Structure 1
Amino acid sequence: MICPVETRHGTSLQNQQFMRPRKNHLRKTHNVPSKRMDYILIGIIILVAAVLRLWKLGQVPFMHDEFSALLRTRFDNFHDFIQQGVMPDSHPIGVQLFLWGWVKLFGWSAFWVKLPFVLMGIASIYLIYLIGRQWFNRKVGLFSAAFFTVSQFTIFYSQLARPYSAGLFFVLLMAVFWHKVVFGTKTTTRDYIGFALSAWACSVIQYFSIAQAGLIFLTGLFFLPKERRKAYWLSGLAAVVLFAPTLPIFWQQLFVSGSIGGWLAAPKSTFLTDFIQYTMNYSMLFMFTVGIIIILPLILGKRTKQRQPLRWAGIAWFVIIFAIAFIYSLKREPIIQHSTLIFSYPFVIIVAFSMFGTRTLSPWQTALVVAAILFVGTASLVMERRYYDLMYHQGFDQIAAEMQQDKDQYGDKIQFATRTEIGEAAEFYQAKTDVDNRIIFNRIYNEEGDLVREAELGDFNRWLSEHHETPMLGFGWTDYVNPIWEATAVGNYPYLIEKKDWFTSRYLTLSKTPTEGGQYLLNDLSENPYAYQEGQEWGKGFTFACDSLPADIEALSVIAKIHNEVELYRCVAVIEVHDAATDSLILWHSSLPDDGHFMPGDHVVADAILFSDDFKPAGKYIKAYLWNQDKKPLVVTKLNYYYTTKSRVLTGLYEPLN
């Protein structure tokens, strides 16, 4: 009989032969369920990302930039496509070339045009998870992926058929291969090929994705093992060789045309903080939730300090890209906007969550954090940001819908006009209605279809004169046109029946005469008619205190109703803004001389100014008058002013709604 021998821990040596070591036992009971939970969580994250981006995708209307790109696909041969479809743009050839071929297969269906970009946006969520896992651990990847799943920032750009979603996808893909070839324990030829091809894809998509790819490549030189340098440089060289055929386009866009921007406003000093709030859906609750989660390892005393070089790399990539874009925007021409930072921002968020270690939270606690990010982010997206209302109802399509509704209600009593920068975009949706008594003011073409010039306010004035007997007007504008167009419409049809605002767009249903429920929009300055005699250039001026204007005023218009028996040239309205205390002139503004051409009859002469965000009406006064530069006789029958206040909806896809 063999008697068991007791150890000092009270366990027999005989029994120890059949016991699994405690260390291995813990690894099995902790890591396997953790990995299984992580797989379930990333699956849920991808599913939520897909739902939020694919939801009624076919109902998302095309935006201005998308129309610009789509209109440049209408070429039958490659030479014309390059010369007229790519060279005039401010982006490399990649996405435009893809669209050129894609629309030949699937047409201009919103669903099919946007689908590839949405799919790349969804795939980017997984790549963010993968990078977080590579750099740090699975929890960092999960939390970063969950954040970008519900951020309006990435959802919005995923639903645009523009370079941003594609550029983000390939920047992230390059970062995945970069980590493998620089930090991986074992590399393969496939890793270097993937690194080279993804770097090349970045170079033909967007100029800031090129910059990001360059930063990633250069950073690798600081960490690269000596034995991998040759393969690394060859991969970079391969990307450059693949990019070389597009160098003429690069040269034309950056050095011959000399501009990749310029249509934007100069950035404010608060741009960065505004951007961060935008990525968090301008939601205090979402920002608070994300902030608490980021510092949770500090609260729990379980912060990990590993992989510091990668933390600094992620921060440096964002800071360098931001600094280049911001300084360039101030010193040369404005180029920085939200989309500029989409290629580098994911790395900052990954770093922000990097204090989490593998064992900071249990699997179920990890699931709770992911659920909190997804739930609070989705709620802020839908309810606070009203994303699916603003994104799915925009100017081009909704103006057409309102026209159809007004046509059904008022019949031949109403006529329609639209002012837009892209006439084809307005026509794309309006052609689907049965509204025939409409006109789009964009460009003037001759009978052969050749472009003569851009539409001017004088064209609108002449059209209004020719159709002055129609009692109602449906007037829409898109892309923040000069407010003088709206003022001219209101001057001729001063009673508002209904007004609708969308992102950078507005539609007004107006009437010449009082209508039940209608609102009179004009404010009187003159009470009695007054005349300009032959040879008289200047006439009576009228003033009013700005204290009567609302603090959130956006635009002010002066509207003169005139009667002339002879043809007028260069007859314009003038607005002066004065300081009430010193009587000094702050601003002088008039409409363009070419807008002041009127045939004999009754007309509206208008001028409008758009105030800056920091304009304060208090302590100022307005002086308004008519400048009769051609010195022809006329009678001013009425002088009025009209103003509009800031509408949060007009900027709601980028700025706060409250």
Structure 2
Amino acid sequence: MAKKNPAKWFISWAYIIFTVLSAYNHYFSLLQAVLIAFTGLFLISKNRFWNYAWLNLRAILLFLPHLSISLHQLSLGGLNWLPKPNYEFFVSYFQFIFHFSEWALALFLMLFVYSVIQYFRFKPNINRKWILISFFWFMIPLLFGFYYSVYKKPILQYSVLIFSFPFFLLFVLSFMPNWNKTKSLIVVIIIMMINTTTLIFKREYYSFFYNQGYDAIAKRQIALIDSLKKPVTLLIDGYEPFFLNYYAVKYHHPIPCALYSYDGFNEKNWELYIANLKTNYIACSHVGVTNLNFLDIVQKYYPYFVKKSSGFAYEWYVFSNKNTSKKLYKYEKEINFTQYESLCKKNNGYRLSNQQEYGPLIEINFKELPLCRHDIIHIRLDIDSLKNEGTLVCELKNQNDSLLLWKGASSKQFLNQNEKTSIFLTIRMTDIKNYSYYSTLRTYFWNQNKVNALLKRISIKIESGNPYIYAIFNDF
């Protein structure tokens, strides 16, 4: 083949190499390569069929060394940290594509509708086969990822669809009329201007993407150490020592760290760990997702707020046991249960008998709260004389009294010292959908084992949240 036609030889080996590279790169690019290769079997002419099949066989042979690794990884099923998608994923994915911008979406719809009208009006000489192929090359990976995630284990993310996304563009642009170069250039410039503008200003790309968690935490920790001139205990969830060492070298500054991961901790041993720290300042941070109850437990022993920084996929808090004038919360309400019943004696609290299943209900309408979309609600219940399990419950209900969220925190999760327990429950409003100005927050103690207990006080606090916590994937 090489002697007869060097150009064909080059194209053949380029096809093999790039097919194999796609297979090694990512399983979704492997899926895309298989789709394209399989489609080719039905498009190739009969006299070239066996040559084409031989090219694909060579690509398969070159992938065989990785097969055992692939089979092992596939046996794991999926990614445990990913949630299962629902049908809203399809809407949110297209919102993501268009930067959550009405302008970008409107431009796309105008062009698409116009091109489809022109297509059926003038019936240009366009092979419909390629329109359908580009549509299926885009849709099959999307649908496969979705249903595998629903019925097996979650694997679907926006990022894995990057390999099929170009075929969505090919499908849309297939209907476009045959404009001259000037018209085409004008349309391309308009599309680029609108999408660049929405990316920079609507999505604030350069504000959060270049403020990554690992780097941001390192820089802020260095600045804190230099400003305080005192030791600061740094606790990070989701960090790796390698990364911190890298930034220590990069910024020519040591960054002492006591803990790199909260894995292995539950609320009980976390509280014991925090209670035994010998420091005046503690920096509590995380990259990715963390247990927000841990933050409240830290504040039980280090109640004074020093500073905070947050951005895409990270948050960094500094607390102290030395009094400061700064405040973390924009709303604080503490309720002593003495106002609820005559059973409360000498302002000791609400005495819950072994005949009562529920404590007093605290109900607050959202319109009474300075609550924004990304805020965090912190609820704390202090309880005495509890000899069995009970649960602090929070419910969010809409104006029709339908349940939006039910969340409970068991007393068994938390440290019981001399029958005294502080139960913490936190809610990140970014994770809650479909609530409104007329929604209601309800919280109460569920005494499911009907034991005697003394409810001392309950506090509800609202922290200004982090709009960028899921910034790559969600609107903010």
- TM-score where L is the length of structure 2: 0.79
Please give the secondary structure, in 1, of the residue aligned with 2:185. Answer: helix
From 212, 218, 225, the equivalent of 1:400 is: 218
Gapped regions of structure 1 (runs ≥ 5): 1-184, 444-452
The count of residues paired between Structure 1 and Structure 2 equals 451
Q: For 1:306, which of 117, 120, 126 is the aligned residue?
A: 126
- With a CA cutoff of 8 Å and minimum separation of 6, indicate the structure with the bigger relative contact order: 2
Seen in structure 2, the aligned counterparts of structure 1 residues 579 and 283 have a Cα distance that, compared at 3 Å, is closer
Distance 1:210 1:271 in 2: 23
Aligned partners of 1:439, 1:336: CA distance in 2, in Å?
35
Structure (1 or 2) with the larger CA radius of gyration: 1
| 2:171 counterpart of 1:351 | yes
How many Å apart are 1:604 and its aligned residue? Answer: 5.2
Find the aligned partners of 1:523 and 1:333 in 2 and give their Cα distance: 41
The residue type equivalent to 2:274 in the other structure is: L
Asked if the contact 2:415–2:421 (Cα under 8 Å) also holds between the matched residues in 1, the reply is no
CA contact (8 A) 2:233 2:279 kept: no
1:618 is matched with which residue?
Answer: 439
Q: Does 1:238 align with 2:58?
A: yes
2:104 pairs with 1:286: yes
- C-alpha distance 511-572 of structure 1, shift in aligned 2 (>3 A): farther
Deviation at 1:230, TM superposition (A): 1.0
* 1:226 equivalent among 24, 39, 46: 46
Tell me, in whole angstroms, the C-alpha distance in 2 between the residues paired with 1:523 and 1:311. Answer: 60
Please identify, of 604-613 and 537-546, the stretch whose mean Cα deviation from structure 2 is larger: 537-546
Instruction: State whether residues 382 and 455 of structure 2, in contact with CA within 8 Å, keep that contact through their aligned partners in structure 1.
Output: yes
| Structure 1 residue 253: Cα displacement | 1.5
Relative distance call for 1:442 and 1:267 in structure 2 (3 A) is same
1:342–1:537 Cα change, 3 Å = farther
Q: 1:475–1:509: 8 Å Cα contact kept in structure 2?
A: yes
Instruction: State the Cα distance separating 1:186 from its structure 2 match.
Output: 11
Q: Which residue of the partner structure matches residue 499 of structure 1?
A: 308
| Map of 2:203 onto structure 1 | 385
| 3-state SS, counterpart of residue 400 of structure 1 | helix
Residue in structure 2 matched with residue 175 of structure 1 by the alignment: none
Is the 1:537–1:627 contact (alpha carbons within 8 Å) kept by the matching residues of 2?
no
SS in 1 for 2:159: helix
Q: Distance in 1 between matches of 2:193 and 2:415?
A: 57
CA distance, structure 1, for counterparts of residue 177 and residue 227 of structure 2: 64
Q: What SS does structure 2 have at the residue aligned with 1:240?
A: helix
Kept in 2, the 8 Å contact 1:572–1:595? The answer is no
The answer as to whether partners of 1:537 and 1:628 remain within 8 angstroms in 2 is no
In structure 2, what is the equivalent of residue 261 of structure 1?
A: 79
Q: Structure 1 residue 196: deviation in Å?
A: 1.9
Matched residue, 2:31: 211
Please point out which of 328, 343, 352 is paired with 2:148: 328
Q: Distance in 2 between matches of 1:625 and 1:403?
A: 41
Q: Aligned-pair distance for 1:236?
A: 1.0
Q: Report SS of the residue matched to 1:525.
A: strand
1:483 and 2:292 correspond: yes
Match for 1:524 among 328, 334, 337? 334
Alignment partner, residue 139 of structure 2 = 319
1:150-174 residue CA offsets vs partner (Å, 9 max, x unmatched) = xxxxxxxxxxxxxxxxxxxxxxxxx
Tell me how far 1:650 sits from its aligned partner.
1.0
Q: The residue matched to 2:232 in structure 1 has which SS? A: strand
Distance in 1 separating the partners of 2:257 and 2:350:
35
Does structure 1 retain, via aligned residues, the 8 Å contact 2:306–2:324? yes
Matched, 1:442 2:252: no
Given the superposition, is the C-alpha separation of residues 415 and 457 from structure 1 closer, same or farther in structure 2, using an over 3 Å criterion?
Answer: farther
Q: Which residue does 2:344 correspond to in 1? A: none
Aligned residues of 2:404 and 2:435 also touching (Cα < 8 A): no
Q: Paired residue for 2:232?
A: 415
Contact conserved, 1:571 with 1:629, CA < 8 A, in 2?
Answer: no
CA distance in 2, matches of 1:266, 1:371: 38
1:469–1:225 distance in 2 versus 1, CA, 3 Å: closer
Secondary structure at the aligned position of 1:264 is classed as: coil
The whole-number CA distance in structure 2 between the counterparts of 1:376 and 1:307 is 30
Q: Encode CA deviations 1:302-325: one digit per residue, 9 max, x unaligned.
A: 774412211110001111111111
SS of the residue 1:545 aligns to: strand
Query: Could you tell me the TM-score, scaled by structure 1's length?
Result: 0.59
Q: Point out where structure 2 has 5 or more consecutive residues left out of the alignment.
A: 339-346
1:641 to 444, 460, 464: 460
Pairwise CA distance, 1:591: 4.4
1:391: how far off?
0.9
User: In the TM superposition, what whole-angstrom CA distance separates every residue of 1:221-274 from its partner, at most 9, and x where no partner exists?
Assistant: 22211110010000111111111122211221113x3x1324212223232232
Q: Name the residue aligned to 1:655.
A: 474
| 1:332-390: CA deviation from partner (whole Å, max 9, x where unpaired) | 222211122211110120221223455x12x3333322222222222221111111121
Looking at structure 2, the residues matched to 227 and 315 of structure 1 have their Cα atoms a distance apart, in angstroms, of 28
Distance 1:270 1:206 in 2: 25
Counterpart-to-counterpart distance in 1, 2:403 and 2:189: 60
- Which has a greater percent of helix? 1
CA RMSD of aligned residues (A): 4.2
SS at the partner of 2:65? Answer: helix
Aligned to 2:395: 577
Q: Which amino acid aligns with 1:518?
A: K
Tell me which amino acid in the other structure corresponds to 2:325.
E
Q: Could you tell me which amino acid in structure 2 is paired with residue 516 of structure 1? A: S
Seen in structure 2, the aligned counterparts of structure 1 residues 647 and 594 have a Cα distance that, compared at 3 Å, is closer
- Kindly indicate whether the alpha-carbon contact (under 8 Å) linking 1:569 and 1:596 is maintained by their aligned counterparts in 2: no
Q: What are the Cα deviations for residues 255-299 of structure 1, in whole angstroms up to 9, with x where unaligned?
A: 3x3x13242122232322321221222222233334444455556
User: Quick one: which amino acid aligns to residue 21 of structure 2?
Assistant: A
Query: Among residues 420, 430, 454, which one is paired with 2:264 in the alignment?
Result: 454
Partner deviation per Cα, 1:596-618 (whole Å, 9 max, x = no partner): 255x7998542335563235673
Contact kept? 1:494, 1:522, Cα under 8 Å: no
Cα distance in structure 1, aligned partners of 2:63 and 2:132: 29
Q: Displacement, 1:484? A: 0.5
Deviation at 1:630, TM superposition (A): 12
